Amino acid sequence: MSELLSSLFRPVETAIAWLLTSLHDLAATAGWGAGTAWLAALIGLVVVVRGALVPVTIRQVRLAHAAARARPALAEIARRYAGRTDPESLRRQLAESRAVRAEHGVSLGLMPLLVQGAVMFGLYRVLADVAAGHPIGAMDDALVASARTARLAGVSLADSVAGAAGVGLPGAAGTGLVILGVGGLAAVITYAATRWLSVPNLVEPQPGEPGAELAASMRRMMPAFAALGLLVSAAFVPSGVLVYWLVSATWTAVQLAVVGRWAPTPGTAAYAAYEKRRRR
């Protein structure tokens, strides 16, 4: 299974290694120090990936609006067929629901999540190779050695809290505090963005809808779960991945703020605030 994953993600890892190398070389040519150049390369990686996803994100916003417009009709269909479990009723309910979704252009928009997940996993693999001293793609032995030894605030891209503590590196406590500080900041930004920017732009589940209570509970717990996941991961992943998460979380917060202010989903708290601003 691990060999299959390695072969599937090898093109992603090679692309990330090439992009990191190119961005690092640009920063180094500009005269930046080794640690700063690698940090700039990670920030540049976020900008390139998230910038390339902007058209897909715009489509995702439109899909969310389409789903909100289709919601009343879908709820009415669910109400009419409530309690009917015979095959013919289920078939008709599915056909009517499919027709409503097609009419409003509703479909799944998972591309940004899939791309982000692939990039983060690929980056993790690249930095794991760097930590082990293995060249990958455009990152030859010299660049791997540079990434391993270059430090900023006493931390290299491949350092992790668990790794530093496990081998008893000198200054492991200081390294761990810096890394956990980056992870903690990413968690705070993620919590704030989810709690005050993402959740208000989600349609509230209505009482009586199937799964309404579960959906409401998930909405309440979502910010804490997102932040907690980051905090737990912060002790084990390389610091370079945490830097990527931090910069990406900041990008996400800004993106959510823009969408919530100028293109909120109809039927949400964010849309109500938007309408209120328009009436002033």
Q: What is the pLDDT of residues 158-215, one digit of tens each?
A: 888 876 665 445 456 778 889 989 999 999 999 999 999 999 999 887 666 666 677 7
> Whole-model pTM?
0.90
Burial state string for 229-247 with b = 16 or more CB within 10 A and e = fewer than 16: ebbebbeebbbbbbbbbbb
Average pLDDT over every residue of 89-115:
88
pLDDT the model gives residue 172? 65
Q: How does pLDDT run across 224-266, given as a tens digit for each residue?
A: 999 999 999 888 889 999 999 999 999 999 999 999 999 999 9
Q: How far apart, in Å, are the Cα atoms of 44 and each of 25, 103, 140, 258?
A: 12, 40, 20, 21
- Asked if residue 123 lies in contact with residue 241, where contact means CB atoms within 8 angstroms, the answer is yes
Ordered alpha helix ranges (H), 53-200? 54-80, 87-104, 111-132, 141-149, 161-166, 172-193
- Asked if residue 274 lies in contact with residue 69, where contact means CB atoms within 8 angstroms, the answer is no
pLDDT the model gives residue 195? 96
Confidence of residue 99 (pLDDT cuts 50, 70, 90): very high
- Mean pLDDT of all residues in the chain? 89
pLDDT the model gives residue 250? 97
Q: Count Cβ atoms within 10 A of the Cβ of residue 163 and give its class: 0-12 exposed, 13-18 middle, 19 or more buried.
A: buried
- Asked if residue 16 lies in contact with residue 123, where contact means CB atoms within 8 angstroms, the answer is yes
